Amino acid sequence: MLDWTDRHCRYFLRQITHHTLLYTEMVTTGALLHRDPARFLRYHPMEHPLALQLGGSEPHELARCAALADEWGYDEINLNVGCPSDRVQSGRFGACLMAEPGLVAEGVAAMREATDRPVTLKHRIGIDERDSYAELTRFVETVAAAGCSTFIVHARKAWLQGLSPKENREVPPLDYPRVYRLKRDFPNLEIVINGGIGTLQQALSHLGQVDGAMIGRAAYQNPWMLADADRLIFGDDRSLPEPASVVMQMRDYVAAELSQGTPLHRITRHMLGLFQGIPGARAWRRHLSEHANRPGADWQTVLDALARVTQ
């Protein structure tokens, strides 16, 4: 979700679901240690529960970043060992680290020394030709021995050469039974399934086999799908908001961000899918896409877009 789930996106999603754990986009250790960490770490308190997702491989750097996450009050620190992009591989992190379980374990151990927050791992079921179940279990055993108890498993292997990141999300076949088997073989670990989950009902079907389900792009493209998550998954029976009320709940946040120089479109780009399947959704998207990036665009631009849905 690099370049997708920024702080504006997360604040918006939090208006729809109170309990779903939200993750940051992957932030590299280099960005945190050699640039302005506040740029990547700041968030609104309403975003909790919130996990920081890190990309990196050097244990001492991961430890320093875990300490920063602790200072900033993140609820969880997640190490991404599943991203297959060329940029990530060139930095020796992401999915290529599945070939180095010992190094991943060192990183996890160093992070756990630096923080009391949960340290979790996101990974694939395999990479390239190293995709046997025996290799997957060896990887999980090695990292679990370093103190990681939560594994978020994208139920596809990754091809590090020959496929783009987009193709790696679609071409390798999903193997949900392998993730289910992992949970049966490691009952004391928390196993969260990821990959190809497009609805809450699909997520619920997985929860009979594993401990959690992660939804990515489907929730971004159709954020309203999360509206019933609090009731169906977390047992919170409070009344559901209406999509239009979610828009209005963004008013103060938008005003505060505009006053600090944030362009309107950086916020509204995450809201384009809110009315998916509702009459006027196309007009909503079109108006925001055409007007939110114009000089002087403000809250009235959002209201004008909303009027095209509610008419």
Which residues are catalytically annotated? Answer: 83
Q: Which residue has the tokens 């010992």?
A: 102
CA separation for the pair 21, 52 (Å, rounded): 11
Query: In whole angstroms, how far apart are CA 283 and each of 115, 220, 267, 292?
Result: 47, 19, 18, 13
8 A C-beta contact, residue 64 and residue 91: no
Asked whether the bond before 187 is cis by omega within 30 degrees of 0, the reply is no
CA separation for the pair 271, 40 (Å, rounded): 21
Give the chain's radius of gyration (CA, Å).
Answer: 20
